[in-house]
Amino acid sequence: MLTSINNKASVKSNKYPYALFNFDQLNLAAPVVFFTGNNGSGKSTVLAAIASLANAINLSGSDIDKFDYSQTLSLAFSLKLKAGYYLQAEDFYNFLSKAKLEQKEHLDLLDHTEARHDNKSGMGYLLESNLHKSNISAFKQIEDKYLNVSHGEGYINFFSDRLRANSLYLLDEPETPLSLDNQLSLIKLIDDAIKLGSQFVICTHSPILLAYPNAIIYDFSDNYAIVDYADHYIVKDYQNFLSNSNRFMHHLLK
């Protein structure tokens, strides 16, 4: 299990992103750790730093290591987990866009193969055409599983297919495309993976996800304070709004 992220006291910097690491150590010794806070509070930056230091697989396909976080930060483990995945909210959209683009490319390549080869029983034609047909079939399966369902269902399928035992998962606002029901489904998937030895560090604004039992909840807006679920401003604000939405609308729209 990932137990902490530590700031090396000998390294100080006023430059982004290092200026956001205004802590000596964050305790991460729990199956689920939440980072909360206002936009710009640094929660996503710390999550990206953990992803870089843990060599997590970035599902967007882009490079996490934009900065050398190892100069400032280090991770401590009680038990080394598998690299796991780093998933930002927009990665699912990017994954689908790339899949659709690659499917089109192979369809075009298959058309070129058909046009170039007169002998449709020749080895060259068979090798080329079967390669493109196989890739087109694979992308069609992706389309059926992730695109030909509701967006929330596709996202849940996408997430579920990447859950493994004894792995570290770093999720940045995974609730973004999800209804309340699918947020509850996500919690169940997270719990199933935890029972197989996995761990989650999650940036979120969702009072639904924050309700996961015995999680550590950090509020980055309050100097990295650990906050109880019932006392968190996100929970209180939602409770206040839902208990008297007319009053909120009156003041907002008058």
Question: Hey, where are the domains in the chain?
Answer: 2-91+167-253, 93-151
Neighbours of 163 (CB within 10 A): 16
Burial (CB count <10 Å: 0-12, 13-18, 19+), residue 6: middle
Exposed / middle / buried, residue 44 (Cβ in 10 Å: 0-12, 13-18, 19+)? buried
Instruction: Write down the CATH number for the domain with range 2-91+167-253.
Output: 3.40.50
Q: Give the separation between CA 2 and CA 169, rounded to whole angstroms.
A: 11
| DSSP letter assigned to residue 143 | I
135: its two tokens:
């890739």
Residue 3: what pLDDT? 95
Classify 224 in phi/psi space as left (phi over 0), alpha (psi -120 to 50) or beta.
left
In tens digits, the chain (254 residues) has pLDDT values of 999 999 986 666 777 888 788 899 999 999 999 999 988 888 999 999 999 999 888 876 566 667 888 888 999 999 878 778 898 877 767 776 676 777 777 677 777 777 777 777 777 777 777 777 777 776 677 666 666 667 677 788 878 887 889 999 999 999 988 889 999 999 999 999 999 999 999 999 999 999 999 999 999 988 899 999 999 999 999 999 999 999 889 888 98
Instruction: Please list the alpha-helical segments (H only) found in 9-122.
Output: 43-53, 91-116
Which pLDDT score is estimated for 209? 97
The counts of H helices and E strands in the chain are 7, 10
